[in-house]
Amino acid sequence: MENTTYQKWLAQLRKGYLELCVLVVLERKDSSYGFELLQLLESAGLSINEGTLYPLLNRMFKNDLLTSHWVTPSEGGHPRRHYQLSDEGAALLPQMLETYQSNQQAVNKLKELT
Amino acid sequence: MTNEKYIAALKKALGGLDSASQNDIIKEIQSHSAETGSSLLQRFGSPESLAEQYLDGEIIKTPVIEKVGGFGKKMFLWVGILASTMVLAMAFFIWNVSSDDFNYADESAAELDSNSADWVTKDWAAGTSLDIEQSSAVLYWHDKPTVRWQCNSSELPVMDEGKLTIRQSRCLIMMPKVDIKIVTDQTQIVLVKPQASLDMRIKQTSLRIAENDTQYRYVVNANRSNFDGLKSYDEAEHTIKIESLEAKITPYEQD
């Protein structure tokens, strides 16, 4: 497979997939900010760069999946933009997970075709 | 590239976004850069490609030139508004001159000829959208799971890849009662008693709605447009969502 073809496919796949991952993390953690999210995603094996994550968070915020507020760390330093699941995001997450899992099952079934 | 230069270039590239969004974006990436101890260029790539990511899917304001030949932003805005008004006035003049006296709002009107051979019938798949450009169309709703149309066209309507595309045509269309997305550009369109929820993106369009004693919930984002004479009811069965640019949205009145 051509590398660029794979990259295009990966970009398409990731668009929705990363949104789901961010929602899953924020469901577990209640609140988190960009750098921490980046580390959490990386620790789970999802390598993602900042130029992708921050615009994604911004888009999810604008689409009302997330809420956000600024927090100045107690130890000082730059304020961090903390994100939380909105009611809409929390309501959508189970649906997204179900769809994701059923798609995964469909691929597994297709792999068993003889 | 220093962080200051990076921020300046990013601001310029994000020009169409509102200033609150721009400030949040810049504050957030500066915070990230400070926390990681790396330059913005290293962490985020070029400011132009980062702005592209932020603007992907955004409906943005058209950037206004700062100063050209001594004319400022306001002058360009006024010229833009004047030009838009003239385009709209011209469109309505043409519409009035070319209009006919047939009452399209009569729900039985489409049935008069709908059995003739020049009506085309296609099955309607869920999720199909309607894309109309440089055309005039009257939409009715019927009880069947099909879409039917009769068009006088220089290009025949095409239905594939989840879209019914109509270009440079004058059409009567019978829609199934399913929710649908409709996109129009430079078009005159009449909706006769819609019987489904609609998600419309209309540009330089005259949209007229014959409610025929039915109530609708209107959710309208009118940009340089005129939305007049239609009342929204929260308890209505169907929602008509409209994003408009340089358009006019009014009740249908027989010409």
Which top CATH class is A15-111? mainly alpha
Say yes or no for a CB contact (<8 Å) between B56 and A79. Answer: no
Q: Is B17 on the interface with A (CB under 8 A)?
A: no
CA distance B67 to B51: 23
Q: Is A51 on the interface with B (CB under 8 A)?
A: yes
A82: which chain B residues are within 8 Å (Cβ-Cβ)? Answer: none
Q: Closest approach of chain B CAs to the CA of A37, in angstroms?
A: 11
pLDDT per position as a tens digit, B203-239: 999 999 999 889 999 999 988 888 888 999 989 999 9
Mean pLDDT taken over chain B: 83
Q: What is the CA radius of gyration of chain B?
A: 23
Which of A96, A102, A111 lies closest to A17 in space, CA to CA? A96
Q: Closest approach of chain A CAs to the CA of B218, in angstroms?
A: 20
H or E element: which one contains A58? helix A50-62
pLDDT per position as a tens digit, A67-114: 999 998 887 778 899 999 999 999 999 999 999 999 999 999 999 987
A81: which chain B residues are within 8 Å (Cβ-Cβ)? Answer: 24, 27-28, 31
Question: Residue B17: which pLDDT band, with cuts at 50, 70 and 90?
Answer: confident
Determine the pLDDT at residue B39.
86
pTM: 0.47
Which segments of B1-111 does DSSP mark as H helices, in order? 3-13, 19-36, 40-44, 47-55, 73-98
Residue B247 has pLDDT above 80, yes or no: yes
Whether residue B15 contacts residue A36, with contact meaning beta carbons closer than 8 Å, is answered with: no
The full set of domain ranges for chain B reads 3-55, 64-98, 109-251
Question: Residue B96: which pLDDT band, with cuts at 50, 70 and 90?
Answer: low
The full set of domain ranges for chain A reads 15-111
pLDDT per position as a tens digit, B126-153: 889 999 998 889 999 988 889 988 888 7
Q: Closest approach of chain B CAs to the CA of A73, in angstroms?
A: 11
| Position A64, amino acid | D
Backbone angles phi and psi of B39, in degrees to 5: -75, 160
Residue of B7, B18, B42, B53 to mutate when probing chain A, most A C-beta within 10 A: B53
H or E element: which one contains A12? helix A3-29
The DSSP 8-state label assigned to residue B110 in this structure reads: G
Q: With DSSP H G I counted as helix, E B as strand and the rest as coil, what are the percentages for chain A, rounded to 5?
A: 65, 10, 20
Q: What is the CA radius of gyration of chain A?
A: 16
CA distance B197 to B205: 19
> Which residues have C-beta within 8 Å of that of residue B76, sequence separation ≥ 6?
B64, B65, B68
Q: Is A76 on the interface with B (CB under 8 A)?
A: no
> Which residues have C-beta within 8 Å of that of residue A35, sequence separation ≥ 6?
A80, B32, B35, B36
3-state secondary structure of A67: strand
